[in-house]
Amino acid sequence: MVRLDDNGDALIRVRNLDKTYRRGGQDVHVLQGLNLCVDEGDFVAFMGPSGSGKTTLLNLLGGLDLPTAGSITVAGDEITRLSGPKLANWRARHVGFIFQMYNLLPVLTAFQNVELPLMLTRLTKPQRRRHVETALALVGLGDRTDYYPRQLSGGQEQRVAIARAIVADPTFLLCDEPTGDLDRRSADEVLALLSALSSRYGKTVLMVTHDPRAAERAEVVLHMEKGALVEGTTSGPERSGPASKPAER
Amino acid sequence: MKYFALIWSNLRRKKVRTTLTIGSFAVALFLYGLLAAIQTAFNQGVEVAGVDRLVVRNKVSLIMPLPVSYRERMLQIPGVKAVTYATWFGGYYQDPKNFFPQFAVYKETWLKIYPEFKVPRGEWEAFLQDREGCIVGRKTAERFGWKIGDRVPLVASIFGGVWEFNIRGIYDAARSEDDTTQFWFRSDYLEERRAWGKGMVGWYVVQVADPNEAARVAEAIDGRFANSPWETSAESEKAFAAGFVKQVGNIQLLILVIGGVVFFTLLLVTGNAMAMAVRERTAELAVLKTIGFTDASVLWLVLGESVAYALQGGVLGLAAVKLFTLRGDPTGGLLPVFYLSPGKMALGLALTVAVGVVSGIIPALLAMRLKIVEALRRV
């Protein structure tokens, strides 16, 4: 369950998170004193206007960027204390990223794209093959292993990207507008897949989206504004209602 | 090695650029190989020079002769083990363009002093028995299709007329860098037929008993003939050969300058190609980092790509130039020992890798320092 208070046993704990950028000689406070706890298996959607800090939060949670102040702890690791190769290794072990533009490597086949995270492990080639085939089968592309991204539709590309994100069995998935570049049907397929990963396989999914229909798939929708969480709601008829309140600062 | 597929895929991304970059390397390494072979040809005399041999020439100039009587007098100098002599004949076969070196040699000691030249005993015996006999190097024999028993006419541009010789033997060399284009005939035949300069020889070659004493023996030889009408200049064979090369010009410097310019240009070409490749793939490199590739692995990936360009082109260029040099002297006699040694090939390969690394290092560092968030924002 997503909470703004801290009971100490959450998978992801965000404490007093600040992120400030310097632009044109001025400080821009993108995140301000943000607090958040996410339990294992949660499917959380972050919504909010452009510039509200959603993607910045996602980047910080994924260890792609470092906060100006505050801390992020994931499964007991305080990632805000990590840097360089340690942070890269942490990302490889714990985070699966899904981007709006899929970001597949065009010169690699679907199989090779999905295999990329496994190249950072000590798995043998046959073991890697088994993992990749399983991941591609899970996203329904077991018959497209040798296809290059240009030979796939947008929805298929995103499913390959999901396979790449889950192949190394990360602790959680971070999705930045995963349906933003897809038609409705493909978007529904991708969202169904993300829902299944959360509900059936217990994967923790954090998703940034502008699309209310995409957000509906999440268990919890958190709204952000001016770098802070302003409102939280549970999604779905059986779960509707307030999930959280804005953090007290 | 598991990143090889990734590097290989990136090389195939822009086929035209890859082909042109590899082509640049191939051309540069071909040129390097040619220059190296030319340098070897020029330095061949220096490299193969015997440490126990002195060359004694007329102090005024190499083209001035020395009396044949000097041989006996040199033999009396302590430390001298053997003495032989030769005279430049300067002829040609059928056409002045058919150049190859011909020497009238002192048959009694020539082979003893040059043991690196191998002549079958029977053929040498036949040469000793025939005043008009000659021994031809393997390359020259193959060049003109000569075989033992052939009678060969040479036009003597120095001594005049057409001289005929019987090929009594073909010599080979112990080492690949030894010259097998020479043509030897008997000095007594020259002495008999020439109309002028009788009793004179071109130069002497002295074998010393102890190579450590070579300088002292050379000094003794020059001292013995000082203040005579034909003063001598004795020096080690290596110094003599080096001096000969210097007369042509500073080949070493020329080759270094040309080679340096070629490799520097190559550096710019490959550096540019790699910089473009990295710039175009900023987002992809960011994705690699996002999924857990460390900064160092991204650096090695880019460097690996740069070196892969270099190695493919380098191997191609070196293979081509090796094939070219296997055909032998392309100048028709000016570069008798024209070949690319394994050492020079290894050096070429090392240079290739070095250029690959240097040209890729800046793009690789840029890729390494790439900020993921900023790079992803550019997608």
Taking only the tens of pLDDT, chain B with its 379 residues reads 678 888 888 888 888 988 998 999 999 999 999 988 888 877 766 666 677 899 999 999 888 999 999 999 999 999 999 999 999 999 999 998 888 999 999 999 999 999 999 999 999 999 999 999 999 999 999 999 999 999 999 999 899 999 999 999 999 988 877 889 999 999 999 999 998 889 999 999 999 999 888 889 999 999 999 999 999 999 988 888 777 777 766 777 888 888 889 888 888 888 888 888 888 888 899 999 999 999 999 999 999 999 999 999 999 999 999 999 988 778 766 676 788 889 999 999 999 999 999 999 999 999 999 999 888 876 5
Residue A30 is assigned to a structural domain of this protein? no
Range of the domain at B102: 60-230
Residue B245 is assigned to a structural domain of this protein? no
The tally of domains found in chain B comes to 2
Q: In what order do the strands lie in the sheet with A228-234?
A: A95-98, A172-176, A204-208, A43-47, A220-225, A228-234, A241-244
One domain, residues B33 and B164: no
Residue B147 is assigned to a structural domain of this protein? yes
Q: Which helix (H) or strand (E) holds A70?
A: strand A69-74
Which residue in chain A has the smallest CA separation from B292?
Answer: A92
One domain, residues B266 and B118: no
Give yes or no for a contact between B77 and B220, defined as CB atoms under 8 angstroms apart.
yes
Give yes or no for a contact between B270 and B24, defined as CB atoms under 8 angstroms apart.
yes
Residue A70 is assigned to a structural domain of this protein? no
Give yes or no for a contact between B20 and B314, defined as CB atoms under 8 angstroms apart.
no
The per-residue pLDDT for range A93-143, each reduced to its tens digit, is 999 999 988 899 999 999 999 999 999 999 999 999 999 999 999 999 999
Provide the ipTM: 0.88
Residue B243 is assigned to a structural domain of this protein? no
The per-residue pLDDT for range A70-96, each reduced to its tens digit, is 999 998 889 988 888 999 999 999 999
Residue A133 is assigned to a structural domain of this protein? yes
What local confidence, expressed as pLDDT, does residue A244 receive?
A: 43
The per-residue pLDDT for range B47-63, each reduced to its tens digit, is 666 778 999 999 998 88
Judge: A112–B5 Cβ closer than 8 Å, yes or no. Answer: yes
DSSP secondary structure letter of residue B212: G
Judge: A119–B283 Cβ closer than 8 Å, yes or no. Answer: no
Question: Using CA atoms, how far apart are residues A159 and A182, in angstroms rounded to an integer?
Answer: 11
H-only helix segments in chain B = 4-11, 15-48, 70-75, 110-113, 121-129, 138-144, 187-193, 214-224, 237-248, 251-280, 282-290, 295-326, 342-369, 372-377
**Chain A interface residues (partner B, CB cutoff 8 A):** 59, 62, 64-65, 84-85, 88-89, 91-93, 97, 99, 101, 103, 105-108, 112, 116-117, 119-120, 125, 164
Residue A1 is assigned to a structural domain of this protein? no
B72-91: buried (b, 16+ CB within 10 Å) or exposed (e) per residue? eebeebebbebbbbbbebeb
Question: Using CA atoms, how far apart are residues A95 and B58, in angstroms rounded to an integer?
Answer: 85
User: Coil, strand, or helix at residue A201?
Assistant: coil
Burial level of A185, CB count in 10 A (0-12/13-18/19+)? exposed
One domain, residues B129 and B270: no
One domain, residues B64 and B183: yes
Tokens 């077991």 belong to which residue? A142
The tally of domains found in chain A comes to 1
The answer to whether B1 contacts chain A (CB < 8 Å) is: no
Provide the CATH number for the domain around residue A54.
Answer: 3.40.50.300
Residue A68 is assigned to a structural domain of this protein? no
* Last residue of one domain, picked from the residues B195, B230, B265: B230
Residue A51 is assigned to a structural domain of this protein? yes
One domain, residues B205 and B285: no
One domain, residues B149 and B296: no
One domain, residues B212 and B349: no
